[in-house]
Structure 1
Amino acid sequence: FDAKVNELENNKEILRIPVKDQDTPRTPASRAVFTILKGNEENNYKIETDPVTNEGVLTVIK
């Protein structure tokens, strides 16, 4: 994935990551879990799961 954001942006959604899951939709087993493993040492970003679409939503929060 590739995304660009103005360095002055704050609390801005910058990327959505789609997920395909074979579990029954909208069950605990089908909920995607996202984690930033590297590159966020200064906590400039957060990633959450959209409860409706199950996409990962990457947001700049610096």
Structure 2
Amino acid sequence: MRRMLLIAGCTLMMAGLAACHQEGPAEKAGQSLDNAGQKVQDTLNPPQGPAQATGRKVDRALGN
């Protein structure tokens, strides 16, 4: 029983890795637009201090 669960778990993990894909040109263009929008936001509404700047970087890294 344990062996069967281990094999099933490994199979699911391998299937998850196989589902990964590379970014296409549309996704890259969208990311470029997002980055440009963030730069405009920082220009029009600059962070007020190093803590806020760091908070924005963390939010952007996490996708918030």
Name the TM-score class by shorter chain: under 0.3
When you count helix as a share of all residues, which structure comes out higher?
Answer: 2
**Length-normalised TM-score, structure 2:** 0.19
When you count strand as a share of all residues, which structure comes out higher?
Answer: 1
**Length-normalised TM-score, structure 1:** 0.19
| More relative contact order, 1 or 2 (CA 8 Å, 6+ apart) | 1
